[in-house]
Structures are given as C-alpha cells and as structure tokens.
Amino acid sequence: MTSLKTPLHHITAPAHVTNANVIMREDPFRGHLNLRGNPQDEAFTRAVAKVLGVALPTQPNSSAEQGTTRIYWLCPNEWLLLVAADTQAQVEADLRDALAGQHVAVTDQSSGQTLVNLSGPQVDDLMMKSTVYDCHPSNLGIGKVVQTTFAKTGAIIHKCADGSFDLVIRRSFSDYFFLWLADASQEYGLRVT
C-alpha cells in the first residue's frame, strides 16, 4: 500500500537553527473544495450553511470558520472550503445533494494545492518582502483573505486569529515556494515543523 504524501513532505528543517524567527508548517489535514453559486439565492446559502455548519462569508476578502471547517471568500460567487482531511468527498457529496437542481459547481482541489502556515516573531517582515500585497496588520486584519502572489507564485493568504498567515499554494509551485521561503528567511532563521 502506498501512503499519500503532502507536496512538501521531503522538506527538512535547516540544520542548526537556534533563533528561528519564522516557523513554517504544512497542514496536511485539510481537504480543499471550490464552491461556486449565487449568494443572493437564499436556498443556496441556507443549504450550504446546513451542510457546513457555518454561513458563507459574503463580504469581499472575508472568511468564516466553525470547528475544522474554514471558508475563504474568493469573489462574489466563489469560495474555497477547507475541511477536515479525508472528509472532502463526503462534504462534496452532501453539498451536491443539498444543492440538487441549482446552478452551482463543487470541485475537489485537494490534490492540486496545499496549505502552509507561517508564524513567528518576524513573519510580518518576511511577508512584507515576499508579497506585493500590504500585509501590515492595519491592512490585512484577522480573518481577511486576499488572492495575490508570494514571490512569483499565486497564493491565497489568510490572516489567522493568532497573527500567523495561512497560504494556499498550488502543489506544482510548492518546491519553488519553499526555496524562496528558505532564502528570504535566512536573516531571520527558519524552522520547519
């Protein structure tokens, strides 16, 4: 039997890092579903909230979460749903059943992207030099979600309640992402957990 591996499973912590001020952790415990539908349709929003246990965020660049489910607003009719690993097929089936007959799309993107969390005392400095988006706390507050670039790869960036950043990146760019991260964080010290 072959075990499934995350895109960054082969990454190891740099040797002899004593003062790591940036900490990277890949989260393999999420399923990724893309949902499209009409947020003005009350039947759509009610059905989604019933399945997920949380209402869809409808304000631009917002998020919502309940338990292991997190929802990122991507555009007026599109959301990224992050659910507990190995539940995405069931959540997708439940959404399809609840939304039967409506003009919607539910797509499992779990194998095509990964979620990386960046934290630490100098994560803000790292983010400011790695993305064109202004990640200052006055501009990227807790719960805010933006689609931008990290280095030269597309990323969805979410500011977490603990002040860390979740980045959703495409699997095919994961090695490039890590090489950039390792280089950009040399002055701060990087720990991989």
| pLDDT the model gives residue 29 | 74
Q: pTM for this structure?
A: 0.90
pLDDT score recorded for residue 163: 95
Q: Mapping DSSP to helix (H, G, I), strand (E, B) and coil, where does residue 63 land?
A: strand
- The structural domains of the chain, with segments of one domain joined by +, span 22-28+112-192, 30-110
Q: pLDDT per position in the chain (193 positions), as tens? A: 344 555 665 666 555 556 889 999 998 778 999 999 999 999 999 999 999 999 999 999 999 999 999 999 999 999 999 999 899 999 999 999 999 999 999 999 998 999 999 999 999 999 999 999 999 989 999 999 999 999 999 999 999 999 999 999 999 999 999 999 999 999 999 999 8
Asked whether 82 and 167 are in contact (CB, 8 A), the reply is: no
3, with CB counted inside 10 A (0-12, 13-18, 19+), is exposed
Residue-level pLDDT at 11: 66
pLDDT at 148: 97
Residue 3 confidence (pLDDT): 47
How far is it, in rounded angstroms, from Cα 1 to Cα 34?
29
**22-28+112-192 CATH choice from 3.30.1360.120, 3.40.50.1370, 3.40.50.2300, 3.30.950.10:** 3.30.1360.120
Q: How high is the pLDDT of residue 193? A: 85
The rounded distance, in Å, linking the Cα atoms of 158 and 136 is: 13
Beta bridge partners of 146: 157
Those residues whose C-beta lies under 8 Å from the C-beta of residue 79, and which sit 6 or more positions away, are 34, 35, 36, 56, 57, 71, 72, 73
Architecture category of domain 30-110 in CATH: 2-Layer Sandwich (3.30)
